[in-house]
Amino acid sequence: MTSVSPFRLFCIFPHPDDESFLMGGTIASITQTGKGDVALYTLTRGERTRNAAEQNLSPVEVAEIRSAEVLEASEILGISSHFQGDYPDGGLRDYDPRDIEKDLAEKIRAVNPHVLCTFDVQGGSVHPDHITLHHVVKRVFVDLREQLPALQRLCFCVLPKKKIMSWPRAVFGVDDDRIHAVLDVAPWRDIEERAVHAHRSVRRDVEENNFDNWMLWEEEYFSFYRETPQSVASSLFDGLHP
């Protein structure tokens, strides 16, 4: 992928694997078709994963492993730029949000994206890092969209409420009227699956929490911030100017 791609997407997530579990198919659909460049910022190294104990690994060892895994997954998905942060896993809520905002603003200016993407307000599983990042990204977007002509959209990865009602784990979805984009990612499932399985250190999460095979659904779902499209979009770039 080169800089002549018409659009740029910047995904901002707290943990290694978020990019693959949440929207790996979407990322692949963009990078593999030349529709745009994708950059990724992973704020933590995921050292507090519950999988560490069963593997007899220290937090330092886990951080090293998971940092390498997200790089491998990024390469599989075709992500052109990856930024790795050093925030503590589980500790974003204890930071002065202004410090995270400054950091994100610098990264966003460097990427100059058309679209930002992160967690929705409930964070899916209500993980505090997910929720904190949602609010910080939204705050930075509101500031920067007045300064960066390219930046036009903030979107959130979501799960349809009606598709997760039977799941045994408490996960939060949205009603249909909050779903503004539905992307057909079936053609890219093989790439997405490879990216998901690149996160080998958290294979337990895939085995135990991939209810209804949601990590490899044939569609992925998004909400747009302060937009009400007349029809459901089929791309995160629908209606934007390059």
Angle between helices 189-198 and 18-31 (to 10 degrees): 150
What percentage of the chain exceeds 70 in pLDDT? 98
The mean per-residue pLDDT over the stretch 223-235 comes to 95
- Residue 26's closest CA among 199, 162, 158, 200? 158
**What is the per-residue pLDDT for 214?**
96
**What is the per-residue pLDDT for 1?**
38
Return the number of other C-beta atoms located less than 10 Å from residue 88's C-beta: 17
Give residue limits of the domains in the chain. Answer: 7-224
Tens digit of each residue's pLDDT (9 = 90 or more) over 130-172: 999 999 999 999 999 999 999 999 999 999 999 999 999 889 9
**pTM tops 0.75, yes or no:** yes
- Please tell me whether residue 6 adopts helix, strand or coil conformation: coil
State the sign of the Cα–Cα–Cα–Cα dihedral 228, 234, 237, 242.
negative
pLDDT bracket for residue 4 (50, 70, 90) = low
CA distance 8 to 34: 11
Superfamily of domain 7-224: LmbE-like (3.40.50.10320)
- Please tell me whether residue 133 adopts helix, strand or coil conformation: helix
DSSP 88: P
**What is the per-residue pLDDT for 57?**
87
Who's near 191: CB < 8 A, 6+ residues apart? 24, 25, 28, 32, 76, 77, 78
Tens digit of each residue's pLDDT (9 = 90 or more) over 25-60: 999 999 999 999 999 999 999 998 877 767 788 999
Please, are residues 107 and 83 in contact by the beta-carbon 8 Å criterion? yes
**What is the per-residue pLDDT for 53?**
65
Q: H/E element holding 103?
A: helix 97-111
DSSP 233: B
CA distance 113 to 153: 9
**What is the per-residue pLDDT for 2?**
42
Using the predicted structure, report yes or no on whether residue 125 has a pLDDT greater than 90: no
Using the predicted structure, report yes or no on whether residue 120 has a pLDDT greater than 50: yes
Mean pLDDT, the chain, whole residue set: 94
Using the predicted structure, report yes or no on whether residue 81 has a pLDDT greater than 70: yes
- Residue 12's closest CA among 141, 129, 120, 104? 104
- Residue 199's closest CA among 43, 45, 38, 40? 45
* Cα distance between the two ends of the chain: 16
